[in-house]
Chain A
């Protein structure tokens, strides 16, 4: 709906621009809320794996973004070289990242499970730089655009409201992932084993749980989710070798503010992050980039262990 039309009908009291406060409130806010929420959901899919590995297994895995990048490049390669449809590439992106994670976990990561946080951070940040250089070597430094099918581009209009189709898909994907994770951890036998292995390793071993195997699988799932997030992110934020590092800050914010090992915390924090980012950039673009960090710092001062900390 045109603002001028709204204005004529008396639904607007002031001209649309430059006075931002005079915008047609309901559709505008709904649209911003939705865009922000969808962006948050993208961050959630990217970060939730880290919440699993960092939060549950207590491993400082700064290379989480590298696994996301593996997923992204998998999708790009399949779409470009083999003409796969976008949706068919998503499971492969998950599996590639997970497979890579298993390899790294078996060779490198497991040796440092008992090591100090600093050792783990140093190892994994090294892996990040290696992954950036490898991606630049193999795929070049350029952006990797993908051509999405027409039905997923553009917007759907519902009355005054309009939403990006791809963002609707993002939100649905994130909701499904959340449901699977929460239900899987809380109600399945495997979920119970993970919780047992994390809470008390010695006791879990004593009960005959194969902790090594549980950790490897957990790590693979966490990294696979990152890979899926990386594939989903291409259409919104693009993909280049720097991806591995670029989203690390957001990932760490989601995990730290949400509370370690809390899927619900990660979900709510990511949604908040996206929405705050969207609103502050829309209404106060001059300071838009700072509002987000200010809020996050405030939250951490208020609850240092995170919003939904288990411990």
Chain B
């Protein structure tokens, strides 16, 4: 009997001791990042990368007993060379044997990598690329950033409701821009407004004066603008200021990019009164935001985080949550299943991953540029909770999405 007890306790001790040993011996979970670390959109890469760094600094690099290893790849001139993103996805999966890919600065990059993810059955977490349709292109794509129509539709509805009769739209001529233009126009017209005209900018466009002039000549009551982050918001803002287009002469409605810190600095007081619909601002008064901003300030040498930082931070959170739920298993289907329907609190408020479309459901804030304590900031004056991507909701209603959220 004593021998038996001794044996049993010995076994138990062995089992207890072996549990952590086993975890330590497991290979790390590899997360590949495909982001624009260089080129026109290098700043997106900087922001997203630091968002991920902050998350790992706060939450450690071990989940469910397994270490997380990050492998960074530069997609270079994002958006203009999607073949690079595709090749990088292949290399990460085949050569580096990553379990998850995250990042994707611009839409073309995510679209180019979608097939690769489907074939390899590896989850891809989109932390920026914002065209609505992306997540319907592979059952392995999940998005934590935004489908632009979420914010732009809200802005169109708001503008029409608040007495704007006619508007001119200006967007960059690629997926997210066209998405934004169409959703704004649709919601604005449904609310009773008329569209006065529209232009689409080339993706690489250094000087915007011709477009600013054209806008001015349209004599519109309001203008709706979308340009991707990076170098263009400040350049466009300057052209507006130079041509006397400011909130005093015309209502300016935009996505968050046109009113980011750098653009506001170069516009100065001409920006006061600009209205935007967006999912994040460093000025947001949510519970988690102050600590997030402080952490990012430290990493960025005093700069404030923007939406790229927070969506990457949340992307990493989603990856951690999924690994916790699978108990450290890295099977692609299990991870995707674990990500569906996850709800969590983020510095931007509460966020849910739609189990049907794998896209993000979030709060859209309507903000106005004001001078507060000598600084220009976006002050929230209204918000709409639980916004789903309206484009995919319409497709679903028309029966054009499969049960798995894929485009038919």
Residues of A near any B CB (own CB < 8 A): 2-4, 16-18, 20, 23, 28, 31-32, 35-36, 39, 132-133, 136, 140-147, 153-155, 162, 164, 166-167, 235-238, 240-242, 246-247, 277-279, 281-282, 285-286, 288-289
- How many of B's residues come within 8 Å of A, CB to CB? 44
Beyond A142-B46, A242-B42, whether A278 also contacts B244 by CB under 8 A is no
Chain B hits for A31, CB < 8 A: 213
CB-CB under 8 A from B196, the residues of chain A are: 17-18
- The 8 A CB mask of B197-225 against A (1 = contact, 0 = none) is 10111101111011101100111000000
* B204 cross-chain contacts in A, Cβ below 8 A: 289
A214 to B197, CA, bound (A): 56
With a cutoff of 8 Å between Cβ atoms, the chain B residues found around residue A241 in the complex are 42
A154, B244: Cβ atoms closer than 8 Å: yes
Q: Could you list 6 A-B pairs, sorted by A, with CB under 8 Å?
A: A17-B196, A136-B38, A145-B265, A153-B242, A237-B235, A246-B40
> How far apart are B183's CB and chain A's nearest CB, in angstroms?
20
Contact status A2-B242, CB under 8 Å: no
Task: Using CB atoms, name the residue of chain A closest to B45.
Answer: A141
Smallest CB separation, A76 vs chain B (Å): 12
Q: Does B43 contact A (CB under 8 A)?
A: yes
* Interface membership of B285, Cβ < 8 A: no
Contact yes or no, B206 A155, CB < 8 A: no
Given A155-B243, A242-B231, A286-B200, CB of A3 within 8 Å of CB of B219: yes
Contacting residues, chain A, for B231 (C-beta < 8 A): 143, 237-238, 240, 242
* Closest Cβ–Cβ distance, residue B256 to chain A (whole Å): 15
Given the known inter-chain contacts A2-B219, A3-B217, A143-B262, please indicate yes or no for A155 contacting B242, CB distance below 8 A. yes
Kindly list chain B residues whose C-beta atoms are within 8 Å of the C-beta of A18.
196-197
Taking a contact as CB atoms under 8 Å apart, the answer to whether A281 and B45 are in contact is no
* Complex alpha-carbon distance, A153 and B268, angstroms: 10
- Max chain A Cβ within 10 angstroms of own Cβ: one of B43, B46, B199, B201: B43
Complex Cα gap A277–B201 (Å)? 12
- Please report the C-alpha to C-alpha distance between residue A247 and residue B200 in the assembled complex, in whole angstroms: 22
Which residues in B have their C-beta under 8 angstroms from that of A3? 217, 219
What distance in Å separates the Cβ of A56 from its nearest Cβ neighbour in chain B?
Answer: 27
- Give Cα A132 to B39, complex, Å: 9
By the criterion CB–CB under 8 Å, are B206 and A237 in contact?
yes
